[in-house]
Amino acid sequence: MQAGAQHESNGQSVKTSRRFNSIYVQPIASWLKWRNWEFSVAPRPIAYLNKDENPDLSRYRGYVEWLISAEPSDDFKFTAYLRKGAGSGYGSMELNASWAFEDLLRGSGGRLQLQYFNGWGESLLDYNKRRSDQIPVGLMLVP
């Protein structure tokens, strides 16, 4: 089980600034199934505390974000984040694949990440516009 408060902001100047605060509770179910793969499912119900700058944000992001993951070992992990807009046909899908590497910087670890995003709500500035498919690549550093 996980619970918390979250602040999301696009970090822009006053004219294009967008932000909101929310609270959530996230139960997590994990199990080992097939050939040491660990599977997890975690719905995250969200309550928006303020969304004045994005009054219809829930129409595009919804009130629940689903996390589904599969991890055969510490070396590779696949995750999917799924959202369905409240009372609408909007939503989004984010798929992530990451590979671990060790000793990147004096004993620190990290991960190489490949991501795919499709749908609405990815950016706070234009959350109500459908984005073209995005495929970013990145590095995560872990102390």
- pLDDT level of residue 13 (50, 70, 90 thresholds): confident
Q: What domain range includes position 75?
A: 29-44+52-142
Whether residue 12 lies inside any domain: the answer is no
pTM: 0.84
Whether residue 19 lies inside any domain: the answer is no
Whether residue 14 lies inside any domain: the answer is no
pLDDT of residue 4: 96
Alpha helices in 8-83 (DSSP H): 57-61
pLDDT tens for each residue of 91-114: 999 999 998 876 555 556 788 899
- Rounded to 5°, the CA angle 52-124-26 comes to 85
Tell me if 86 sits within 8 A of 120, measured CB to CB.
no
Counted domains in the chain: 1
CATH code for the domain of 101? 2.40.230.10
Whether residue 15 lies inside any domain: the answer is no
Whether residue 80 lies inside any domain: the answer is yes
Q: Which of 99, 96, 140, 98 is nearest to 117 (CA)?
A: 96
Whether residue 20 lies inside any domain: the answer is no
Whether residue 125 lies inside any domain: the answer is yes
Whether residue 4 lies inside any domain: the answer is no
